[in-house]
Structure 1
Amino acid sequence: MIKPRFVLSILLTFLPALPSVAIELDEATRTVRSDVKGTQVTLTPEQVKRGKRLFNSSCGICHVGGLTKTNPNVGLDPEALSLATPPRDSIESLVNYMKNPTTYDGLESIAEIHPSIKSADIYPKMRSLSEEDLEAIAGHILIQPKVVSEKWGGGKIYY
């Protein structure tokens, strides 16, 4: 009879030698709207990883799980993004928003209270973000509904 302790020690010995494998997202999942005309763009796996990392470090404090902690009525889910004025459901429009944020109806600037490139002096995390960084973050926001479905921006019933 093999002792459980022996099996466990063998397993723990060889486990670190096994390669770690991350799930690679397919092209359909990585394809999002690039602009308001509906042009599609497929993000590279590197852009996806970079977008996730940057979103979590720069935006995730207030937008964990696609929610908006300061205004729970407006999330980052596809419906909320598409109903904003102007619609924020493409990489181009999200990048524009991150540069110069406005209220949901688009009438007033909220750069003083929402992190943005325009208010980088107030929000230091925004200072070092390049155009490519903003595009990667926007891509992350747009692919999350395909990855976690209704949980993205779905509210406290999921988180």
Structure 2
Amino acid sequence: MIKKNTVLVLFINIFLLFSCLVPLVDAVELDESTRTVTFDSSSKTIILTPEQVKRGKRLFNNSCAQCHNGGITKTNPNIGLELESLSLAIPARDNITNLIDYMKNPISYDGQNSIAELHPSIKSAEIFPKMRNLTDEDLLSMAGYILVQPRVAQEKWGGGKIYY
């Protein structure tokens, strides 16, 4: 008769051996073409590092996902974070530079009014404390993550209630 402790030790040893032989992947490894995003309105591109994308995801989930989970916009479901919506904003927010500008000083979708008192931003960090310590590198990582997501999550990113 095998004791419970022996079975438990055997199970733990098999699990540890298996986990050493099979590398754990905590995120899908993204190739260079997936990590290549538009940098500015002149269509210049940059290639994000895998670390920037992972960091962007972490920062996005901490600072933005409460209202933009899955690339939606809870306050206006007609405007999401998918590339089509971002490209139709004034100015277009479908590149790193303009997304960073937006995160620093948000303006309405039509580009007419400041919405810093309503939308978390660097400008309104006293109202939205999660924005206080974000650096330009943090904002670049977050913007990069937002622009990479439509390639990773495809129709789910910005898909709204259908998926989230």
Question: Normalising by structure 2, what TM-score?
Answer: 0.88
Which position in structure 1 is the counterpart of 2:52? 47
> Which SS does the other structure have where 1:32 is aligned?
strand
Cα deviation, residue 10, structure 1: 5.0
Q: What does 1:15-94 align with in structure 2 at a 5 Å threshold?
A: 15-17=15-17, 18=19, 19-22=23-26, 23-94=28-99
> Which SS does the other structure have where 2:148 is aligned?
helix
> Which SS does the other structure have where 2:29 is aligned?
coil
1:123 partnered with 2:128: yes
Greater percentage in helix:
2
Question: Normalising by structure 1, what TM-score?
Answer: 0.91
The whole-number CA distance in structure 1 between the counterparts of 2:31 and 2:11 is: 32
Cα deviation, residue 155, structure 1: 1.6
The whole-number CA distance in structure 1 between the counterparts of 2:67 and 2:112 is: 22
Change (3 A) 1:11 1:149: farther
Tell me the amino acid that sits aligned with residue 56 of structure 2.
G
Aligned residues: 154
1:95 partnered with 2:95: no
Which position in structure 2 is the counterpart of 1:147? 152
The whole-number CA distance in structure 2 between the counterparts of 1:143 and 1:125 is: 22
> Which SS does the other structure have where 2:161 is aligned?
coil
Q: Aligned residues: percent identity?
A: 62
Cα deviation, residue 11, structure 1: 5.3
The whole-number CA distance in structure 2 between the counterparts of 1:8 and 1:102 is: 58
User: Unaligned regions of 5+ residues in structure 1, if any?
Assistant: 1-5
> Which SS does the other structure have where 1:125 is aligned?
helix
Tell me the amino acid that sits aligned with residue 156 of structure 1.
K
The whole-number CA distance in structure 2 between the counterparts of 1:94 and 1:7 is: 54
Cα deviation, residue 21, structure 1: 2.3
